[in-house]
Amino acid sequence: MIQETRAMLEFADDPKQIELATYRKNGGYDAFEKALKEMSPDDVTQEVLKSGLRGRGGAGFPTGRKWQFVPKGNDKPKYIAVNADESEPGTCKDRVIMEQDPHQMLEGTLLAAYAVGATTAYIYIRGEFQKSIRIVEDAIDEARAANLIGKNILGTDFSCDIWVHPGAGAYICGEETALLTSLEGNRGYPRIKPPFPAVEGLWRCPTVVNNVETMACVTQILRRGGDWFAGLGCEGSTGTRLFCLSGHLKRPGVYELECSTDFTLRDVIEQIGGGTLSGAPIQGVMPGGSSFPVLRADELDCGFDIESVAKAGSSLGSGAIMVFDDTVNVRDVVLNISEFYSHESCGQCTPCREGSDWVRRMLKKFQTDGPDEGDIATLMDVTDKMDGTTICALAVAIVWPVQSFLKKYPEAFAEKVTA
């Protein structure tokens, strides 16, 4: 039986954990104080590197490496941006941290700011998360009152201020460059890379953009040591991760799990999620949220870590495991996904702006009438041409699920719908 390994969520069930006093009583800000007083910024980065922490936003870029990209000896101000614009369908983990243990994220943010030498950090919270915004703002006020945020923190030379920036409801602002553009007060348009944000981000200054969960991990790493973190999980997927199980499950929810090759994705779904609610067989699973390829029921016997799932043809992504049983129509699922993404396309790049809508309309036709001859090939070709031809990955977020659904459920798209 797979068990949860609670590190980030250790105290999450305590409703008082959102208060600074409780958080400090549970060992909060000790790691930050220690780092501030005993460690150099480089030491902090080294500790994170040692832990093997990979970004929890979905792309999985090693966090320590990202911090190292920030140029040293540059007199431009540096910024931290915490990506709390959690809008991906199926993902709900950041909200748990923000609403149940906000100081853990703030501590990680401060540690990251200390590591890269940033003096300002912005927490870009999705506009719809009104409760999160309130809790995080209260937590910041409390921490600022306790001189954990602000000038000369805890009597040291280090100064860092943290601001909450609510988003205005665009999914694309969860993309790091669009988030920065939005922070600057402009339309949330992703920017072309290079230059990367770590070199030229917010107001053309070096900026580190990290996910909420990543920041929470940083807190845990500094609190318990990089070696401890590296010892959890398996190679390439160290530490614990928050997984959001959703869909037709008996026990959906956010679980903190270690990745392992010892058990399979199916085990997780069945043992943690408790199998399908109706008992009907699983039809498919999207293990990384709606923007990653789907896995058929017979492909679920892969190891539960980043590499194994990638080998199976999908990705753990942001850890949103969405399960649907065979009572749903695959055409509806894929149409729903494409409707979401075409609605959220920012409209900047041609292939995404025009292509996403085209894909949506084709899938709408598949759903209502079924495909004509050659339509599937056209759709595959169109999505191919959207893949990798845009500034950000939103186009890819349409291409992957759509292509995988078409490939894996050919029978669902085989014939015309007869009235």
Partner 1 sequence: MSDNGHVTLTIDGKEATVPAGINVIEAAKQVGIEVPHYCYHPRLSVVGNCRVCLCEIEGVGQLQIGCNTLVRDGMVVNTTNERVSRMREGVMEFLLINHPLDCTICDQAGECKLQDYAVDHGSGITRFEFDKGKKPKNISWGDRVVFDAERCILCTRCVRFLDEIAGTDEISIDHRGEKSQLVVRGDGKLTSPYQMNIIDLCPVGALTSRDFRFKSRVWFMKFTPTIDTSDARGCNVVAGTRDNRMLRMVPRYNPNVNDYWMSDHGRLHYAFVNDEDRIVMPTAGGKPAPYPVALSRAQAVLEGARDEGILCVASSYMTNEELFALKGVCDALGVEDRYFLLPMGEGDDLLIHPEKAPNARGCRLAGFRDAPDDWSSQEFGALLYVKPRELIELPAEVIERCKKKVVFSLTKHASDVNIPLTTWVEKDGTMVSAGDRVQCVRQGMVYEPTLLTERVVLDRLHTLLDPAFKGASTAVLAFQRMADEHPALDGLTWLSVGLLGAKLNKAEALA
417 part of the interface to partner 1, by CB under 8 A: no
Shortest Å distance, C-beta 350 to partner 1:
5
345 part of the interface to partner 1, by CB under 8 A: yes
What single-letter amino acid sits at 100? Q
State the SS3 of the chain: CCCCCCCCCCCCCCHHHHCHHHHHHCCCCHHHHHHHHHCCHHHHHHHHHHHCCECCCCCCCEHHHHHHCCCCCCCCCCEEEEEECCCCCCCCHHHHHHHHCHHHHHHHHHHHHHHHCCCEEEEEECCCCHHHHHHHHHHHHHHHHCCCCECCHHHCCCCEEEEEEECCCCHHHHCHHHHHHHHCCCCCCCCCCCCCCCCCCHHHCCEEEEEHHHHHHHHHHHHHCHHHHHHCEECCEECEEEEEEEECECCCEEEEEECEEEEEHHHHHHHHCCCECCCCCEEEEEECECCCCCEEHHHCCCEECHHHHHHHCCCCCCCEEEEEECCCCHHHHHHHHHHHHHHHCCCCCHHHHHHHHHHHHHHHHHHHCCCCCCHHHHHHHHHHHHCCCCCCCHHHHHHHHHHHHHHHCHHHHCCCCCC
Q: Which residues contact 419 (CB under 8 A, 6 or more apart)?
A: none
50 part of the interface to partner 1, by CB under 8 A: no
128 part of the interface to partner 1, by CB under 8 A: no
363 part of the interface to partner 1, by CB under 8 A: no
- Of 51, 87, 104, 348, the one binding partner 1 by CB under 8 A: 348
192 part of the interface to partner 1, by CB under 8 A: yes
Q: Which stretch binds partner 1 (CB under 8 A): 37-45, 246-254, 326-334, 350-358?
A: 350-358
355 part of the interface to partner 1, by CB under 8 A: yes
- Of 45, 290, 291, 356, the one binding partner 1 by CB under 8 A: 356
- Of 357, 370, 376, 380, the one binding partner 1 by CB under 8 A: 357
349 part of the interface to partner 1, by CB under 8 A: yes
- Residue with Cβ nearer partner 1 (249 or 396): 396
Shortest Å distance, C-beta 364 to partner 1:
9
- Residue with Cβ nearer partner 1 (247 or 355): 355
344 part of the interface to partner 1, by CB under 8 A: yes
170 part of the interface to partner 1, by CB under 8 A: yes
- Of 16, 204, 343, 416, the one binding partner 1 by CB under 8 A: 343
- Of 382, 397, 399, 406, the one binding partner 1 by CB under 8 A: 382
182 part of the interface to partner 1, by CB under 8 A: no
- Residue with Cβ nearer partner 1 (154 or 192): 192
406 part of the interface to partner 1, by CB under 8 A: no
Q: Give me the residue label for tokens 């029921």.
A: 297
- Of 76, 131, 204, 385, the one binding partner 1 by CB under 8 A: 385
CB 318 within 8 A of CB 91: yes
User: Which two three-digit tokens encode residue 198?
Assistant: 């770590």
Shortest Å distance, C-beta 83 to partner 1:
20
177 part of the interface to partner 1, by CB under 8 A: no
- Residue with Cβ nearer partner 1 (3 or 186): 186
350 part of the interface to partner 1, by CB under 8 A: yes
- Residue with Cβ nearer partner 1 (294 or 349): 349
- Residue with Cβ nearer partner 1 (58 or 273): 58
Q: Which stretch binds partner 1 (CB under 8 A): 155-163, 307-315, 384-392, 411-419?
A: 384-392
Q: What phi-psi label fits residue 72: left (phi over 0), alpha (psi between -120 and 50 degrees) or beta?
A: beta
Q: Which stretch binds partner 1 (CB under 8 A): 109-117, 231-239, 309-317, 383-391?
A: 383-391
197 part of the interface to partner 1, by CB under 8 A: no
- Residue with Cβ nearer partner 1 (195 or 281): 195
Binding site for partner 1 (CB under 8 A): 170, 172, 187, 192, 194, 342-351, 353-358, 361, 365, 378, 381-382, 384-386, 388-391
